Amino acid sequence: MQHRKLATIEDVAAIAGVSIATVSRAINEPSKVADETRRKVIEAVARTGYTTNAMARSLRMRRSNMILILAPDVGDPNFSNILVGLETEASKRGHGVLIGNTQNDATRETDYLRFISSNQADGLILFTGHLPYGFGNGSGEARLPPMVAVNEPVSNSDVPFVSVDNFEGARVATEYLISQGHRRIAFIGHSTSKAVNMLREQGYRAALEGQGIMVDPSLILDGDGTTESGRQATEHMFVRDVLPTAFFCVNDATALGVIIALNARRYDLPRQFSVMGFDDISFASFVTPSLTTMKQPRIKIGEEAMDLLLALLEGKPPRHKEVLLRAELIVRNSVNRVGPID
């Protein structure tokens, strides 16, 4: 049986691109090392799993004051502004953040957790929608610090959760379309696995039912939240000749795909079809027509999540297990009034 070679201080120095003396100072006297250098050393320690008695002693005396963020896709248009909120709140409280872009890869996620096992991060912010891989298999569970989930709740767990109120936001969006005379409203983004999609579809259904409008299953199409899924769903509707007067899309990227498909068929928007998005990401105001959508309070989500996590680190019980923030209706030019208004 082969045993993995224990990492040495030389390994850490080589990966960090610094001297052995600098590694030693970063571990034992971090206040004497520049923040960027200390960050490089921390990352190298996490990658190698290097530990020393001196590190253990120092960490018994103080925290690392670092928070590890695990995200499946740092390119997600919602992530950057939530990160601003997370970093702002952390900085105000004397903490920094480390970002782990997991790319939905279990191995990458496990690698990033070395920040935890080497005591280089105090808490976890999870965008992944699940507990870290390996959680619950013996000793791994004990090493995990306090956690807060953002956007995607962690099912079957007590992990506190912060998000926009997806159900309520979708209900408001659909009610707005109804108020503009629409009765045949398509929902693009059906999913049996994505919690956000399911909540937004539930809000859509609740708004229709609340106004006495029968839900038409032929107007509910699958979508994974990408622009291409919006385009394909629209084309599918034309092939089946089942057309709505308005499209409510699970997010703005999907709405862009719908607009692309309708423009390609030379429809006059919004006169012939209305399109509603959700999220209010950066391009929403620049497409033609500019997109009516629901704005997520992304910075506030980040601030609330970090505030909740830092309270947990101080040993305080969470004020709420679930924090849902209201989305704001942003009316632009992609929704048109149709027919008589009841």
Read off the CATH number of the domain in which 183 is found: 3.40.50.2300
Domain-embedded: residue 90: no
CB 270 within 8 A of CB 313: no
Residue 328 structure tokens: 């704001």
Distance between start and end Cα atoms, the chain = 76
Angstrom distance (rounded) from CA 247 to CA 234: 9
My answer on whether 58 and 179 are in the same domain is: no
pLDDT for 244-266, tens place per residue? 999 999 999 999 999 999 999 99
pLDDT for 319-335, tens place per residue? 889 999 999 999 999 99
Q: What angle do CA 170, 172, 174 make, to 5 degrees?
A: 70
Domain-embedded: residue 190: yes
What sections of 166-297 are H helices per DSSP?
166-179, 195-210, 227-240, 252-264
Number of domains in the chain: 2
pLDDT at position 52 is: 53
What is the H or E stretch that residue 113 is in? none
My answer on whether 56 and 170 are in the same domain is: no
Domain-embedded: residue 199: yes
Angstrom distance (rounded) from CA 204 to CA 67: 36
Domain-embedded: residue 223: yes
Residue 89 structure tokens: 């709140």
Domain's final residue, options 46, 62, 78: 62
The yes-or-no verdict on residue 72 having pLDDT over 70 is yes
Domain-embedded: residue 308: no
Dihedral sign, Cα of residue 298, residue 254, residue 272, residue 262: positive
Domain-embedded: residue 112: no
CATH code, domain with 26: 1.10.260.40
Angstrom distance (rounded) from CA 53 to CA 221: 57
Q: What is the mean pLDDT of the chain?
A: 88
Residue with the two structure tokens 């209706």:
329
Domain-embedded: residue 227: yes
Domain's final residue, options 62, 94, 109: 62
pLDDT for 12-53, tens place per residue? 889 889 988 888 777 766 667 787 887 788 777 777 766 554
Considering the entire predicted model, what is its pTM? 0.80
Question: What share of the chain in percent tops pLDDT 70?
Answer: 88
CB 48 within 8 A of CB 12: yes
The predicted model gives 169-196 an average pLDDT of: 97
Domain's final residue, options 41, 62, 83: 62
Range of the domain at 237: 166-296
